[in-house]
Amino acid sequence: MLILVKVLLLASLVKLLLEIDKPLACAIIYVSLGASLRLLVGWDLLPLLIATGIAFALAWLYFWLLYRTQGSVWFWIILVGGLAIGLV
């Protein structure tokens, strides 16, 4: 169930990226939702901050690469690769 939610969230944010052309906004939304869920589960503050920082850097890179490769075959490779990483 959680995997399906992650994939749907990433797919929705990719669609948003294609509409607004702002990879930073998509990364912030993704990380905010992830940090909120981790906080609700009861993570301690230091691991939460570390995980959020790493997730932000990777999410920003993912959405930035998608933004930069729009219209090429690399877009689809990065898109599928990112969704597969979302399954982990």
**Reported pTM:** 0.90
Q: What is the pLDDT of residue 49?
A: 94
What amino acid is encoded at 5 in this protein?
V
74-85 per-position pLDDT tens digit: 999 999 998 877
Domain locations in the chain? 44-88
Among 1, 2, 6, 65, which residue's Cα sits nearest to residue 30? 6
- The answer on pLDDT for 88 being more than 80 is no
Which tokens go with 66? Answer: 């998608």
Cα separation, 13 vs 20, in Å, equals 10
Average pLDDT in the chain: 91
Cα separation, 38 vs 77, in Å, equals 29
**Sequence-separated (6 or more) residues with CB below 8 Å from residue 26:** 13, 14, 16, 17, 59, 63
